[in-house]
Structure 1
């Protein structure tokens, strides 16, 4: 789960020396910065994989301060994705105008362009106008021609994560989470959901509100944070986005999912119609219905993915978030919805 932004206090001490040096050398090349050493460091709250900081410098004119974003990679999270793959994706995206530009890399992080747009909030996902922009942008994302093999990553990734979860969990916990039975569940899902008709595209795989920026001026959205991005069935990506509507990571209990907020039928259909329409060709009703069914089934894969992710995160992530409780809710939802969505198999 990527970054949602909420400004907290100024803690320059948390930046490693090499990062400060890189920032100062960058700022010294900018004409309008008064003093490259006078940088203000603002940690951004809501990130669950990395530490993210907004950096700003006062400028000579009356114009706004110079800003960049520093991302320091989380310890131990290489169990989830290959950092080199993620950086390649990031560079590809920035070349193709899809996200922020990469300004500098350092040993365990990078400096990115600061996008002058706001991060969405949980309620923004329910705004029909914003939701339509997300649907259109997601379709563009899915059609990116990324270098590398165009194969589905979902099932291999889930199996790999499950192995890690079993390795890290004490016996009692593994029992409580029914980890032994999840291997079979992954196989059932793979068999039931891998239909011939499904479209494979380049997927974000973590489209929560904190990974979407909105520019009020141009009324455009930008999708950011590609750590989990890979080729997958597009129905999985959409399903995951719908599941994220049940989350609000900026409450007193950010780990609590409220499934009454899962989008209703009309809301889902509206999103899917815009998504399919954005190719310029009006979709047939049967196409919309097929995608609707596929997306609903893929919510099960989303619950399993983030359930297992939560179990691992409890052991590898230092961020203040109740990962175990979050995992429990995602897996409970999986078992609750499975009979209805797959029949009783």
Structure 2
């Protein structure tokens, strides 16, 4: 849910002085820039956690400009993830050419390389050729050997977020959301959908369209924004990506989820086939089927995760988004799908 997408021009955007200072310092190292202070600030819409800006400087000749991305961290969001871990992940990715390079840091944010690629739209996720590229890229991402404990973080994180939601939420609201019931639901899910056959990998955990970029000429895919990235069952990462196909954050009602857009069985199986094949071995039918079943069940964990995230965000986030209504929809989907997927009421 933390994405950078549509660019909206605005010369009025105000950057904190320390950020401007860091940008001018960076620009003064480039000898093709006319004036390091003559920067244009363009807010990038669609971010759910941070404020994101594109920064441009005019350069000498060729009508070109130097561009970077500035990310100012949202306040209060440290309840969701450890910012130091996220920076370590970002630096690791940057070092191994997996994402944008880190160009500078300031106390509450960073400056990143501007990728000359376009951010995907909601419709792109459904395009078979692009979906195939995402499947292969996700497999490569899941196989990265990242520093840190290679254990499942999903359930601990969910319990921690639930505690935070209960702390922030007024009693009446907590009752309406049935927050008390979720402690048992998390334990039940962990017991029922965790299996020894499951593959644990480094997961993005937030693979919505705004966190995926494509370089049109080379057709290379880059995954960005690693705030929520941890080790987890890869089936959860895929399930979360499928759930994101029901959202479009660039409509008049970005918080409304349309589950009629959730991919059908054929589309899901095609994605899983490509995901498994991209490691170089042809998977057996049984392997594809098993992963498909696991992914279906992990959609329940995705609904709970982002539902609880929505409740917390309502109280800690300044971004104009109806987090509460979003949370309601994710919880409704959880209760609706649970009997179908787990065979229990």
Please state if 1:178 is matched with 2:178.
Answer: yes
TM-score of the two chains, using structure 1 as the length reference: 0.99
Please state if 1:214 is matched with 2:214.
Answer: yes
Moved more, 91-100 or 55-64: 55-64
Given that 1:11 and 1:43 are in contact with CA atoms closer than 8 Å, whether structure 2 keeps it comes out as: no
Residue by residue over 1:186-227, the C-alpha shift from the partner in whole angstroms, topping out at 9 and shown as x without a partner, is: 001000111010000000000000000011111111000000
CA distance 1:178–1:213, shift in 2 (3 Å): same
Separation in 2 of the partners of 1:156 and 1:132? 32
Separation in 2 of the partners of 1:161 and 1:325? 18
Equivalences for residues 1-345 of structure 1 within 5 A? 1-11=1-11, 13-344=13-344
Separation in 1 of the partners of 2:325 and 2:11? 29
Moved more, 196-205 or 62-71: 62-71
Q: Tell me, what secondary structure is at the counterpart of 1:291? A: helix
Separation in 2 of the partners of 1:210 and 1:63? 28
Residue by residue over 1:69-107, the C-alpha shift from the partner in whole angstroms, topping out at 9 and shown as x without a partner, is: 000000000000000000000000001110000000100
Query: Which runs of 4 or more aligned residues in structure 1 lie more than 3 Å from their structure 2 counterparts after TM superposition?
Result: none
Q: Tell me, what secondary structure is at the counterpart of 1:175? A: helix
Given that 2:4 and 2:52 are in contact with CA atoms closer than 8 Å, whether structure 1 keeps it comes out as: no
Q: Tell me, what secondary structure is at the counterpart of 1:14? A: coil
Given that 2:13 and 2:42 are in contact with CA atoms closer than 8 Å, whether structure 1 keeps it comes out as: no
Separation in 2 of the partners of 1:10 and 1:30? 24
CA distance 1:63–1:221, shift in 2 (3 Å): farther
Given that 2:236 and 2:302 are in contact with CA atoms closer than 8 Å, whether structure 1 keeps it comes out as: yes
Given that 1:4 and 1:209 are in contact with CA atoms closer than 8 Å, whether structure 2 keeps it comes out as: no
Separation in 2 of the partners of 1:110 and 1:333? 36
Q: Tell me, what secondary structure is at the counterpart of 2:195? A: coil
- 1:129 deviates by 0.6
For structure 2, the 5+ residue unaligned runs are: none
Separation in 1 of the partners of 2:221 and 2:266? 22
Q: Tell me, what secondary structure is at the counterpart of 1:54? A: strand
Given that 1:12 and 1:40 are in contact with CA atoms closer than 8 Å, whether structure 2 keeps it comes out as: no
For structure 1, the 5+ residue unaligned runs are: none
- 1:14 deviates by 2.4
- 1:64 deviates by 2.5
* RMSD of aligned residue pairs (Cα, Å): 0.8
Given that 1:135 and 1:275 are in contact with CA atoms closer than 8 Å, whether structure 2 keeps it comes out as: yes
Residue by residue over 1:49-82, the C-alpha shift from the partner in whole angstroms, topping out at 9 and shown as x without a partner, is: 0000000011112153100000000000000000
Separation in 2 of the partners of 1:32 and 1:246? 44
Given that 1:71 and 1:109 are in contact with CA atoms closer than 8 Å, whether structure 2 keeps it comes out as: yes
Residue by residue over 1:211-259, the C-alpha shift from the partner in whole angstroms, topping out at 9 and shown as x without a partner, is: 0001111111100000000000000000000000000000000000000
- 1:10 deviates by 1.8
Separation in 2 of the partners of 1:211 and 1:284? 31
Separation in 1 of the partners of 2:225 and 2:321? 19
Q: How many residues of Structure 1 are paired with residues of Structure 2 in the alignment?
A: 345
Q: Tell me, what secondary structure is at the counterpart of 1:155? A: helix
Separation in 2 of the partners of 1:215 and 1:130? 11
Given that 2:13 and 2:43 are in contact with CA atoms closer than 8 Å, whether structure 1 keeps it comes out as: no
Q: Tell me, what secondary structure is at the counterpart of 1:24? A: helix
Residue by residue over 1:285-328, the C-alpha shift from the partner in whole angstroms, topping out at 9 and shown as x without a partner, is: 00000000000000000000000000000000000000000000
Given that 1:152 and 1:200 are in contact with CA atoms closer than 8 Å, whether structure 2 keeps it comes out as: yes
